[in-house]
């Protein structure tokens, strides 16, 4: 990012300090920058980039996203329907297990379906074949190669429920299948992907030449400045040249990387063995990966604990004791009512948030290139009570 771009972004973000309600903000400029990087990759190499809607689903931004990417990947009927009604085709679908009552409706919306097990493929094969339009079918594989350290996010760990291992399949299982899906990464670089591809070749190499496509899943941070997109493209070249495969990836976080913010306000400040600021958003309810990953999201204008005179533990407004975002240092004391802005808050927030404790869902708004903030969604009591018995 150039100095001019950095200054322009800082100027746009100043507008967020004017908000007086908890709000997710989508930075349209950064989103387009991410999409442009994906589009450039697709134009240079034989690789197709899909948006993984499990990370970021949006009927508002789908018309923009579909201009840059090669489609979307979905994991459920609801995601498929949102994509279909937004015109985001083609739609690639995978689920650990499909529900019989929804499967026919999925066939009417998707272009490909990947099954998690040989049993699921056998169960639905006749239904797929009877459908008048061609649905490209694949099987998820597990090369038993681990790159993810956190067991909560490791799809190839011991007793994984995702995909078939080499000892669970035989050659006849791939008859009538067009492709395979392997998802093995979580925020990784192209070098971890290369090791994964080597593992796929070692375990499943004899089947690759009889297939039409390979989906290398998500977890690729290809829009980050330090990501080697040339290397990723070369890996796609390799698979395309050697096996004549169409190559897909389906990043989620990378599409909206650094394109989202969560604005909150300080409600109270207490001192209990150190300063504590309570804000009107919740790590547990509004940014659950902070607790699940876990990780410490950045707050604009803050530094690491102890780096400046005033260090605060920032905590949410629920009764969960662990509803804590982390320790942050500031140049001057925080004030009640002061806005705080968490960064990189587009992925796995709006799609995962809850109204635990009856806390209100943050509004959703858009920040454009001129610094204008436009509302997209607002939530109140009805959003809370409509989800309850």
> Tens digits of per-residue pLDDT, 2-35?
787 888 888 999 999 999 999 999 999 999 999 9
Q: Which pair of tokens denotes residue 27?
A: 């930075």
Task: Classify residue 111 by its DSSP letter.
Answer: S
Closest CA to 100 of 129, 77, 82: 77
313 in Cβ contact with 280 (< 8 Å): no
> Selecting from 1.10.760.10, 3.30.470.10, 1.25.60.10, 3.20.20.10, what CATH number does the domain 45-256 have?
3.20.20.10
* pLDDT tens-digit readout, 277-309: 999 999 999 999 999 999 999 999 999 998 988
* pLDDT tens-digit readout, 197-211: 999 999 999 999 999
Q: Which pair of tokens denotes residue 347?
A: 């992925």
Class of domain 9-26+260-345+353-385: mainly beta
- The domain limits of the chain are 9-26+260-345+353-385, 45-256
d(CA 264, CA 362): 9
**Residue with tokens 């799609």, as numbered in its chain:** 351
Q: What is the pTM of this model?
A: 0.96
Q: Which pair of tokens denotes residue 207?
A: 């089947």
- Going residue by residue through the chain, which has 389 residues, state the pLDDT in tens, using 9 for 90 and above: 678 788 888 899 999 999 999 999 999 999 999 999 999 999 999 999 999 999 999 999 999 999 999 999 999 999 999 999 999 999 999 999 999 999 999 999 999 999 999 999 999 999 999 999 999 999 999 999 999 999 999 999 999 999 999 999 999 999 999 999 999 999 999 999 999 999 999 999 999 999 999 999 999 999 999 999 999 999 999 999 999 999 999 999 999 999 999 999 999 999 999 999 999 999 999 999 999 999 999 999 999 998 988 999 999 999 999 999 999 999 999 999 999 999 999 999 999 999 999 999 999 999 999 999 999 999 999 999 999 99
């Amino acid at each position: 990012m150039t100095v001019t771009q950095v200054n322009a972004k800082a100027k746009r973000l100043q507008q967020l300090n004017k908000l007086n309600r908890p709000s997710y903000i989508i930075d349209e400029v950064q989103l387009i920058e991410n999409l442009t990087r994906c589009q450039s990759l697709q134009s240079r190499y034989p690789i197709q980039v899909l948006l993984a809607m499990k990370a970021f689903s949006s009927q508002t931004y789908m018309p923009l996203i579909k201009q840059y990417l090669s489609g979307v990947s979905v994991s459920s009927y609801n995601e498929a329907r949102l994509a279909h009604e937004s015109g985001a085709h083609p739609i690639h679908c995978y689920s650990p297990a499909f529900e019989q009552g929804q499967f026919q409706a999925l066939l009417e919306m998707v272009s490909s379906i990947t099954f998690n097990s040989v049993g699921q493929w056998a169960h639905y094969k006749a239904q797929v074949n009877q459908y008048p339009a061609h649905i490209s079918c694949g099987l998820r594989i597990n090369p038993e190669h681990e790159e993810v350290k956190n067991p909560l996010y490791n799809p190839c760990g011991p007793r994984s429920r995702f995909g078939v291992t080499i000892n669970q399949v035989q050659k006849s299982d791939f008859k009538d299948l067009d492709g395979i899906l392997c998802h093995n990464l979580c925020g990784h670089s192209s070098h971890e992907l290369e090791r994964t591809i080597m593992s796929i070749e070692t375990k499943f190499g004899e089947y690759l030449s009889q297939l039409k496509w390979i989906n290398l899943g998500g977890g690729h941070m290809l829009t980050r400045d330090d990501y080697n997109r040339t290397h990723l493209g070369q890996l796609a070249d390799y698979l395309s040249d050697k096996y004549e495969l169409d190559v897909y990836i389906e990043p989620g976080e990378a599409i909206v990387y650094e394109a989202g913010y969560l604005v909150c306000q300080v409600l109270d400040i207490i001192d209990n063995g150190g300063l504590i600021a309570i804000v009107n958003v919740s790590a547990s309810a509004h940014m659950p990966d902070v607790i699940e990953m876990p990780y410490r999201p950045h707050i604009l204008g803050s530094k690491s604990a102890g780096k400046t005179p005033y260090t605060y533990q920032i905590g949410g407004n629920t009764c969960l004791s662990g509803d804590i975002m982390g320790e942050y240092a500031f140049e001057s004391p925080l004030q009640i009512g002061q806005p705080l802005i968490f960064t990189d808050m587009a992925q796995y927030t709006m799609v995962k948030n809850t109204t635990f404790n009856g806390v209100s869902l943050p509004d959703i708004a858009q920040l454009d290139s001129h610094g204008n903030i436009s509302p997209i969604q607002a939530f109140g009591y009805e959003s809370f009570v409509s989800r309850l018995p």
